């Protein structure tokens, strides 16, 4: 793993971790002889069968005398063999084997890969398109075969030693790096790291697949929360997770993840505002708490306004605060932070002076960025002007939640609090700048950390795991977003690609950069994307759902309001509904339903009406594209015929929580091994099944195996999640009508359980009864807006006047030359002066209209988040600046 972008002084285990010792990859003694073909070695040593598709010979793995020799050969084939296959057989494999000075063992050092990848990239860029495609195809095939081998070793339940797990893990990381190289080199290989990812829905902590165990054990050793480990593995490339793991001093030590064990997400950062204690910036400080007059804040909230705090620091370091009412947009700086970091004192609406001075120091640093942006930040002279000429005002208008939302301890504050919270959306949408403060970032001491490392730290920070900070950042789409890292501030702009710094990175770092950009940061465009007409309802829904389901909040109810707002509904209206009706209201206009809703272990309401029992009651679980969608038809939701594992079985006694079933099917006679197929089932919500299925029922079991999609590529259907339905009617054309019972885990296997059932294939269509007409129809919905991306508005700002200036120059300059060389009467001169001035005025007018129009659209967008206070059109226009 030495080729991956990790700091030189990376975090290393300071002691032996279980059997994994110091996480050095052992060299098991075989490098393999170079064959013509990737498979020659594997066939010769019976790791794969000698058939056309080189199927894996797993029997060999199960009845093995010398496991060490077997894994030495696996390493020779899939580590060294893959390196030769990818980079050419001229690679000197001895360069990869070093002796660990302290233990005198031979271990693998992969630093050499960095150079090989750079060479490979420059070599293929010179190849013809055809030769390049062939090369890439070959690499894709052999690496995928290697990945599949690890999958099989993981899911066939072979028990492995820690050393062998490390070997498999190093193979996965090698393959993930090669895929990252293909992806970062733009050779048309797609992103295989996305297609082959750990299915975190299927596995349960701590029973992780063997090849992921070393990494997970190391992360747990460093104090990561199990939920976080799974979330990161399910979100990022394996190589990215490894880099994050190795970052120094990543987590604040005070978090207690013990209580997360029984929860579905990490709840260590959920705080109880009544219990939560503020902290000083340093342990030995005992300064006083400071804050604005909260009564004035309440007065402004009562008047329907948004309070801001104008703050100033005197020369002797005393902050002063004045509460003002927000006027217009793009005038204030908002803070986005995590309460668990202890900056705030919730009971008092105050923070300690030392903490505030720290925030103020970031404000001071943000001044240049903000001023530069005001002076058209994309002009290269703007930062210079901002630093030396137009330094801006001495005070700052800020929005900080602890100052602007009255604490729940105030008897009269319930209603005002609701109002203040609803106002958060427009505060962030209309902010001039947003400062992101997270303890793991502000504690950084390294002054010039590379951008990739800053990105990795942000992506793995606590700030990234909260629902509110997510909505704040995605609303701040047109604001200057600044991350407070150590004693610097780093603009979000730096995380976008194609700047000079990116081109200088080595191949693994570029792959890391892109992965973080795509999986961590692009999701912040959601508020903007979801409100664009070009994005389908379904895509917007899935994006918002996935972003929120991966995050948590101290007030779980809030998530529905956030979701509604991001999707363009009225958060206020959705929150007035019963908890059970909120999600259906937001799904009313969806053309189809994500299949993942049925094939996940989600919290559902078993007591609800039969037609609504399948609907999740919490935002949980990732909606995966591979699962597909189910369409609404008359009478319900259609589980189409392409979903081909549908079984019917009659239950005569009460259904136990787990059972097995088998079925015989003649159509499968082409695969004699599948003539008699058996599955082990365990129901997720046994209570619901008992409650609704009774003791004499017909049950339909659906397993999400789909002809057109790969589905769960990792477990290759050896195991997975399906669902059980209660059959109500079987129509004459054998279409099954059913109601939802529970999701279930299945495992392909040959063992009969105590409760064993015979099943038949159901089909071809199953309809889940559901009447969408009865769902609540939201009354308010924001219009899809036409706010352009900021790059586009900049073109407009300068492109339009530039064209006009060009036209003016090409017409007026020749006319003036004509006038000066010929002798015209004075009258002509007057006409020319008038025409020139008129043209110039026209350009200024056009410029004003462009800016006015842009400002008007933006103002509309910000106002659309502020429900209940519709502004008159003249109010939108008047305070233009």
Residues in touch with Zn ion (CB under 5 A): 225, 257, 260, 266, 268, 280, 285, 287, 352, 354
Starting at the edge strand that comes first in sequence, how are the strands of the sheet with 319-325 ordered? 319-325, 307-313, 396-399, 333-337, 433-437, 480-485, 488-491
- Collapsed DSSP state (helix, strand, coil) of residue 8: coil
The helix-helix angle for 826-863 and 790-821 (nearest 10°) equals 180
Cα distances (angstroms) measured from residue 785 to each of 32, 111, 582, 868: 61, 50, 24, 19
Whole-angstrom distance, CA of residue 473 vs CA of residue 482: 10
Indicate the residue among 231 and 237 with the shorter CB distance to Zn ion: 231
Shortest Å, Cβ 503 to Zn ion: 38
* Cα 529 to the center of its chain, rounded Å: 15
**Which CB atom, from 353 or from 582, has the smaller least distance to Zn ion?**
353
Q: Which is nearer to Zn ion, 241 or 526 (CB)?
A: 241
C-alpha of 315 from chain center = 43
Per the structure block, which two tokens stand in for 270?
């959920």
Closer residue to Zn ion (CB): 225 or 585: 225
Shortest Å distance, C-beta 462 to Zn ion: 10
Smallest distance from Zn ion to CB 545, Å = 22
CB atoms within 10 A of CB 434: 25
Distance CA 493, CA 483 (A): 10
Largest Cα–Cα distance in the chain? 112
Please check whether residue 574 is in contact with residue 582, taking contact to mean a CB–CB distance below 8 angstroms.
yes
Output the smallest distance, CB 355 to Zn ion, in A.
Answer: 7
Q: DSSP letters of 435-493?
A: EEE-HHHHT---TT--HHHHHHHHHTSGGGGBHHHHHHHHHGGGSEEEEEETTEEEEGG
Nearer to Zn ion, 67 or 289 (CB): 289
Of residues 70 and 470, the one with the C-beta less far from Zn ion? 470
HSE-up of residue 46 (Cα within 13 Å, Cβ side): 9
Shortest Å distance, C-beta 267 to Zn ion: 6
Report, in Å, the least distance between residue 341 CB and Zn ion. Answer: 14
Residue with tokens 């036409």, as numbered in its chain: 786
Residue 379, token pair as written in the block: 């002009």
Residue 725 to residue 744: CA distance in whole angstroms = 11
Residue closer to Zn ion (CB basis): 235 or 452:
235
How far is it, in rounded angstroms, from Cα 599 to Cα 616?
Answer: 11
Contact between 358 and 348 under an 8 Å Cβ cutoff? The reply is no
CB of 453 to Zn ion, least distance (A): 23
Task: Rank residues 356 and 425 by Cβ distance to Zn ion and give the closer one.
Answer: 356
Report the residue number, 465 or 509, with the smaller CB distance to Zn ion: 465
Strand boundaries in 234-383, DSSP class E: 289-290, 307-313, 319-325, 333-337, 344-345, 350-352
DSSP 8-state secondary structure symbol assigned to residue 197: -
Q: Who's near 500: CB < 8 A, 6+ residues apart? A: none
Determine the straight-line distance between the first and last CA of the chain, rounded to whole angstroms. Answer: 53
Nearest distance, CB of residue 465 and Zn ion, angstroms? 9
Q: How many CB atoms lie within 10 A of CB 393?
A: 10
8 A C-beta contact, residue 650 and residue 624? no
> Whole-number minimum distance, CB 175 to Zn ion, in Å?
30
The residue to which tokens 């900021």 are assigned:
790
Name the 3-class secondary structure at 761.
Answer: strand
**Residue 258 beta carbon to Zn ion: minimum distance, rounded to whole angstroms:** 8
- Taking CB atoms within 8 Å and a gap of at least 24, the contacts of 369-375 are 369/433, 369/480, 369/482, 369/489, 369/491, 370/333, 370/432, 370/433, 370/480, 373/432, 373/433, 373/480, 374/432
Q: Which is nearer to Zn ion, 361 or 592 (CB)?
A: 361
Nearer to Zn ion, 237 or 257 (CB): 257
Q: Which of 345, 651 has the CB closer to Zn ion?
A: 345
Nearest CB to Zn ion, comparing residues 351 and 583: 351
Position of minimal CB gap to Zn ion: 225
Closer residue to Zn ion, CB minimum distance, 285 or 675: 285
Beta carbon of residue 360, minimum distance to Zn ion (angstroms, whole number): 13
- In 642-763, beta strands by DSSP E: 643-651, 658-664, 676-683, 697-706, 719-730, 736-748, 756-758, 760-761
Own/partner pairs, 498-501, CB within 8 angstroms, 24+ separation: 501/451
Positive or negative torsion for Cα 41, 46, 47, 51: positive
Q: Is 266 left (phi over 0), alpha (psi -120 to 50) or beta?
A: beta
Smallest distance, Å, CB 252 to Zn ion?
12
Q: In whole angstroms, how close is the CB of 287 to Zn ion at the nearest point?
A: 4
CB of 550 to Zn ion, least distance (A): 13
Q: For the CB of residue 473, give the shortest distance to Zn ion in the complex, in Å.
A: 21
Nearest to Zn ion of 355, 596 (CB atom): 355
What is the nearest approach in angstroms of Zn ion to the Cβ of residue 400?
17
Nearest alpha-carbon partner for 554 in 266, 358, 746, 325: 266
Q: Tell me whether residue 149 or residue 352 sits nearer to Zn ion (CB atom).
A: 352
């Amino acid at each position: 793993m030495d080729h991956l972008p990790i700091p030189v002084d990376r975090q290393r285990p300071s002691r032996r971790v279980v059997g994994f010792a110091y996480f050095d990859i052992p060299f098991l003694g075989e490098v393999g002889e170079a064959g013509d073909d990737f498979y020659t070695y594997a066939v010769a040593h019976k790791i794969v069968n000698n058939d056309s598709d080189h199927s894996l010979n797993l029997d060999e793995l199960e009845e093995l005398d010398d496991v060490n020799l077997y894994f030495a050969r696996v390493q020779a084939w899939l580590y060294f063999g893959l390196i030769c296959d990818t980079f050419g057989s001229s690679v000197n494999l001895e360069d990869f084997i070093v002796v660990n000075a302290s233990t005198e063992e031979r271990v693998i050092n992969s630093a050499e890969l960095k150079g090989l990848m750079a060479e490979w990239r420059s070599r293929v860029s010179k190849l013809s398109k055809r030769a390049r495609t062939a090369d890439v195809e070959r690499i894709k095939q052999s690496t995928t075969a290697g990945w599949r081998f690890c999958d099989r070793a993981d899911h066939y339940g072979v028990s492995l030693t820690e050393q062998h797990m490390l070997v498999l893990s190093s193979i996965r990381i090698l393959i993930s790096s090669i895929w990252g190289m293909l992806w970062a080199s733009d050779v048309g290989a797609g992103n295989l790291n996305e297609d082959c990812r750990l299915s975190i829905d299927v596995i349960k902590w701590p029973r992780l697949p063997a090849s992921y165990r070393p990494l997970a054990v190391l992360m747990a050793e460093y104090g990561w929360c199990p939920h976080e480990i799974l979330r990161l593995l399910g979100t990022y490339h394996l190589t990215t997770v490894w880099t994050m793991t190795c970052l120094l001093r990543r987590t604040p030590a005070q978090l207690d993840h013990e209580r997360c064990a029984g929860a579905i997400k990490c709840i260590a950062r959920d705080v109880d505002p009544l219990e939560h204690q503020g902290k000083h910036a340093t342990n030995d400080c005992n300064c006083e708490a400071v804050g604005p007059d909260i009564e004035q804040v309440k007065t402004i909230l009562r008047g329907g306004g948004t309070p801001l705090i104008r703050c100033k620091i005197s020369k002797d370091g005393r902050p002063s605060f004045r509460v003002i009412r927000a006027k217009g947009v793009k005038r204030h700086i908002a803070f986005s932070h995590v309460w668990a970091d202890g900056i705030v004192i919730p009971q008092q609406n105050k923070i300690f002076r030392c903490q505030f001075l720290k925030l103020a120091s970031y404000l001071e640093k943000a001044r240049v960025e903000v001023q530069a942006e005001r002076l058209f930040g994309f002009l290269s002279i703007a930062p210079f002007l901002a630093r030396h000429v137009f330094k801006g005002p001495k005070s700052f208008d800020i929005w900080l939640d602890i100052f602007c939302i009255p604490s729940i301890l105030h008897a009269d504050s319930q209603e005002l609090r609701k109002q203040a919270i609803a106002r958060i959306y427009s505060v962030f949408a209309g902010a001039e700048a947003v400062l992101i403060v997270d303890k793991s970032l502000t504690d950084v001491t390294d002054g010039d950390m590379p951008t990739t490392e800053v990105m990795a730290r942000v992506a793995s920070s606590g700030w990234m795991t909260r629902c509110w900070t997510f909505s704040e950042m995605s609303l701040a789409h047109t604001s200057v977003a600044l991350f407070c890292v150590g004693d610097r501030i780093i603009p979000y702009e730096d995380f976008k690609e194609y700047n000079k710094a990116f081109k200088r990175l080595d191949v693994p770092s570029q792959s890391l950069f892109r992965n973080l950009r795509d999986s961590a940061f692009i999701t912040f465009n959601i508020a903007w994307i979801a409100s664009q007409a070009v994005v389908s309802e379904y895509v917007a829904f899935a994006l918002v759902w996935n972003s929120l389901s991966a995050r948590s909040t101290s007030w779980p109810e809030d998530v529905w309001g956030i979701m509604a707002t991001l999707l363009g509904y009225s958060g206020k209206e959705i929150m007035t509904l019963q908890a059970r009706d909120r999600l259906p209201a937001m799904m009313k206009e969806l053309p189809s339903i994500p299949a993942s809703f049925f094939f996940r272990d989600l919290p559902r309401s078993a007591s609800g009406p039969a037609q609504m029992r399948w609907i999740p009651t919490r935002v949980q679980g990732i909606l995966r594209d591979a699962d597909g969608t189910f369409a609404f038809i008359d009478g319900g939701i259609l589980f189409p015929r392409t979903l081909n594992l549908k079984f019917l079985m009659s239950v005569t006694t009460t259904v136990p929580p787990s059972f097995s079933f088998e079925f015989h099917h003649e159509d499968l006679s082409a695969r004699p091994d599948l003539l008699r197929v058996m599955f082990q089932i365990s129901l997720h919500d046994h209570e619901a099944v008992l409650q609704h299925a009774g003791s004499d029922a017909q049950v339909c079991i659906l397993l999400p195996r789909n002809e057109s999609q790969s589905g769960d590529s990792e477990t290759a259907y050896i195991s997975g999640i399906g669902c059980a339905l209660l059959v109500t009617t079987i129509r004459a054309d054998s279409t099954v009508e059913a109601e939802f019972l529970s999701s279930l885990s299945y495992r392909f296997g040959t063992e009969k359980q105590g409760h064993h059932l015979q099943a038949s294939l159901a089909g071809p269509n199953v309809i889940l009864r559901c009447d969408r007409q009865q769902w609540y129809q939201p009354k308010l919905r924001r219009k899809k807006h036409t706010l352009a991306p900021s790059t586009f508005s900049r073109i407009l700002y300068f492109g339009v006047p530039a064209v006009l200036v060009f036209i003016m120059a090409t017409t007026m300059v020749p006319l003036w030359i004509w006038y000066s060389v010929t002798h015209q009467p004075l009258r002509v001169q007057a006409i020319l002066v008038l025409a020139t001035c008129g043209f110039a005025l026209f350009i200024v007018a056009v410029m004003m209209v462009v800016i006015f129009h842009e400002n008007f659209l933006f103002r509309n967008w910000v106002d659309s988040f502020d429900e209940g206070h519709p502004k008159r059109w003249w109010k939108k226009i008047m305070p233009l600046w």
